[in-house]
Amino acid sequence: MKRLIAKVWVVATLLLTTMLADPMPAVAETKAAPAANDYVIGFSQCTVKEPWRVEFNRRLIAHAEQAYPNVRLDVLDADDKTELQVAQMRSFIHRGVDAILISPKEAAGLTGVVKEAAEAGIPVVVLDRDVMFKGYACFVGGDNKLIGRAAGKVIVDMLGGPGKAKGLVFEICGGLASTPGQERRDGFHDVVDKEKGVKVLGGLDGDWKKDKAYSIMQDALKVHPDIDIVYAHNDPMAHGAFQAAKAAGREEGIRVIGIDALPNEGVRWVKTGELTATLLYPTPGEVGLDVALKILNGEKVDKRITLPTRVFTKENASKGGEEVKFKDGG
């Protein structure tokens, strides 16, 4: 534990609130300078208010500890605030860290500062959510459009199959200012909109939060007595929708599909029957850190690294799910 604390700097976000008025704040250095062969890598996580991101951080920090004794990983939580994440990025730039990992809260607000870091000569590895500037070193994440298409395929099959599917689907979106929310919506509609017998309602932004999805579903149940399936863009929102249906006595007649497939969350809920299916959205931190180290060691890396997905149902959840075999666009 002492070794971990010495190497992984978890900086309280309260220390960064004073940076918001200063685009290039001066930050006092509290650690000794790294040895000649050490690297300092900054990581700005958009939030830890979602279980998937807590697991994202846990796996990244553990990987850094186990695989890279010469790396000092500075982990910051932006507390779901774009302006705080911008301040964190500018702090990393000002300090001259060797590389930056960032999982942006949303695309538009973080594009400029990612460009600033790249233009300062700092390799930036963008994780999970993309930005609109493509001059960063690498993007690592799941294929959200593919995952949305896979969710659409699962739902069409549940409603009778291609060309025969019939039913009402209620969609609860993730943060639509983020690329995953947009792509999970777009991929899903690429599939289900071809089915004349399938009607999709909803599309409200639940911001990835369980409590918001619960409220959205509560309202939906009052005006839509014939919902067959709920498609939520992550498992916490899916579970919030299930709980709202259960509170209304409607859980037996509604199937719920989510995304993330954490073992102790989405996959567990599938096994207990609270969710009908979930699709794997792998955490990208470990691969992102590997990529950053390759760049710092002079190795060439692919511009985009796409992590695979799997579908989990009650029938296959104990066997590790089923691989998604079709490609985006096919």
pLDDT in tens, 64-123: 999 999 999 999 999 999 999 999 999 999 999 999 999 999 999 999 999 999 999 999
List of domains in the chain: 2-136 (3.40.50.2300), 144-282+311-323 (3.40.50.2300)
For residues 246 and 240, what is the distance between their CA atoms, to the nearest angstrom? 10
User: Sorting pLDDT into bands at 50, 70 and 90, what band is 2?
Assistant: very low
3-state secondary structure 34-54: CCCCCEEEEEEECCCCCHHHH
* pLDDT for res 11: 40
AA identity, residue 123: P
pLDDT in tens, 258-291: 999 999 999 999 999 999 999 999 999 999 999 9
The interaxial angle of helices 235-247 and 210-223, nearest 10 deg, is 40
For residues 92 and 99, what is the distance between their CA atoms, to the nearest angstrom? 9
* pLDDT for res 28: 33
* C-beta of residue 188 within 8 angstroms of C-beta of residue 149: yes
* pLDDT for res 37: 55
The separation between CA 213 and the C-alpha centre of its own chain, rounded to angstroms, equals 17
AA identity, residue 30: T
* pLDDT for res 129: 93
Whether residue 33 is predicted with pLDDT greater than 50 in this model: the reply is: no
* pLDDT for res 326: 60
* pLDDT for res 325: 73
Whether residue 147 is predicted with pLDDT greater than 70 in this model: the reply is: yes
* pLDDT for res 24: 36
Q: What is the mean pLDDT of the chain?
A: 89
